[in-house]
Structure 1
Amino acid sequence: MDTRTRIAWNLRRLRIAKGLTQENLAVDAGVDRSVISDLERSKHNVSVDLLDRLASALAADISVFFVIPPEDDEAAPPLKVGRKPRA
């Protein structure tokens, strides 16, 4: 697994674990939602500054993006589609 794919894998895993949509994470990190989508599909070369903003938005250390996933680790399941109902 190359580094770009590893970052994509870990970004998606962390975002799903926090229950954030791509749009929510994008707003928190100050980027467009399409940037998050491109990163998760390994289509965008990420800068250290952006990794730092993403880590802050996910309340994690930047090093989590470089963790090698276990061989048997499956892809993170998608979140439910649609907006959450208002309280």
Structure 2
Amino acid sequence: MNGRALVAWNLRRLRTERGVSQERLAADAGVDRAYVSELEREQGNASVDMLDKLASVLGVTVGQFLAEIPAGASEITPLPAGRKPVRRGAGRS
């Protein structure tokens, strides 16, 4: 498997395991959400500096983006679409 595919799979795996949306990851890393999407779809080419930013936001090492995909690994389940509902009235009388 090539490096771009490893980065794509691991980025999506690490992001979804932590419950972080592409939008939140992009905002915290200071990049456009479309760029994160491109990386996860193997369309973008991330620099080492960019991988460092993404790793920092996700709380992992850069090396984890290049981890081998385990044999028999299943597709990564995407996070639920849409924004989280706003909780109104909690704690109000």
TM range, normalised to the smaller chain?
over 0.9
- 1:83 to partner: Cα distance: 0.7
Q: TM-score, normalised by structure 2?
A: 0.90
- 1:5 to partner: Cα distance: 0.2
Distance 2:75 2:16 in 1: 10
| Identity within the alignment, % | 49
Show structure 2 runs of 5+ residues with no match. 88-93
Count matched residues.
Answer: 87
Distance 1:78 1:51 in 2: 21
- Structure 1 segments, 4+ long, off by >6 Å, are none
Alignment partner, residue 30 of structure 2: 30
Amino acid at match of 1:42: E
Alignment partner, residue 60 of structure 1: 60
- Structure 1 segment 1-87 matched on structure 2, within 5 A: 1-87=1-87
Q: Deviations over 1:3-23 (max 9, x none)?
A: 100000000000000101100
Amino acid at match of 1:23: E
- 1:26 to partner: Cα distance: 0.2
Q: TM-score, normalised by structure 1?
A: 0.96
Question: What secondary structure, in the 3-state scheme, does the structure 2 residue paired with 1:86 have?
Answer: coil
